Amino acid sequence: MAGRNCLEANDWICGAYVSSRAQDLVDATVQHVWITVVSVAIGVVVAFPLALVARRWKAVAGPVLGFTTILYTVPSLAMFSLLLPVFGLSAAVVVTGLVLYSLTILVRNIVAGLEAVPEDVKEAARGMGFGQTRQLFQVELPLALPAIMAGLRIATVSTVSLTTIGAIVGYGGLGNLIYEGMSSLFKAQVLTASAICVVLAVAADLLLLGVQRLLTPWTRARGGARRRVRRSVARVETGEVAA
């Protein structure tokens, strides 16, 4: 009896699809990663000065945070339609839309991280002769990194997902395959492209988490100290340590 052909049967899981369309999957994945990385990078570059302005002048903070929040609520179809006359049918439409969507997350987390820096630490830096710029980059930003990296992780995972919407203008990375597969009811293509998209999101989050741990070694030390204290308390409570 001849082997069952999963492509002809239109199965959801089909190894033959992966092997026969490997180059299409690679090309779509590369485009997806490129659009995501460029969008998040530009988003950080734009969000950083906006966050500094919002933090420096409280009267501006409300309008800046409000405007970025409004941008995030605009439906993607409407956003791309508004950008299409400006950039034409190009990847710039998708990248610009994704940058605008990332701002609300990035700006809020940068502001929150900087505002969480203890006032006594800032006073100590000023007492040591630190100017505003030196204090920002050598004292405040390092201490704000956990909150900033948390925002970056959320923005990146969100961008990986939203990139698929770019399929409506032909620049959606894996979204192009998902859209084509849904149009033709090609189950294996839809599932495979969707699965790769999920893998990319998880991989990006884990990568950024690793970077965060490398950049903030003191958080691990603090966590280790807390664990040692808890173990000591537990030994005392169980009688392992003599009174």
Separation between Cα atoms, residue 173 and residue 153, nearest integer Å = 20
How many structural domains are present in the chain?
1
Cα torsion through 210, 211, 214, 215, rounded to 10: -150
Residue 158 lies in a domain: yes
Determine the pLDDT at residue 240: 54
Determine the pLDDT at residue 162: 92
Residue 95 lies in a domain: yes
Determine the pLDDT at residue 122: 83
Residue 235 lies in a domain: no
Residue 72 is part of which domain span?
21-216
Residue 2 lies in a domain: no
31: its two tokens: 């485009």
The three-state secondary structure class of 57 is coil
CATH of the domain at 113: 1.10.3720.10
Q: Which of 92, 80, 98, 84 is nearest to 163 (CA)?
A: 98
Determine the pLDDT at residue 242: 43
pLDDT block averages, 10 residues each, the chain of length 243: 72 88 94 96 95 86 87 86 87 93 93 88 84 85 90 95 90 93 91 95 95 82 51 47 42
Model pLDDT for residues 187-215, shown as the tens digit of each residue: 999 999 999 999 999 999 999 999 998 88
Determine the pLDDT at residue 174: 94
Residue 105 lies in a domain: yes
Determine the pLDDT at residue 62: 86
Residue 202 lies in a domain: yes
Separation between Cα atoms, residue 93 and residue 86, nearest integer Å = 8
Residue 43 lies in a domain: yes
Residue 15 lies in a domain: no
pTM of the model as a whole? 0.83
Determine the pLDDT at residue 225: 46
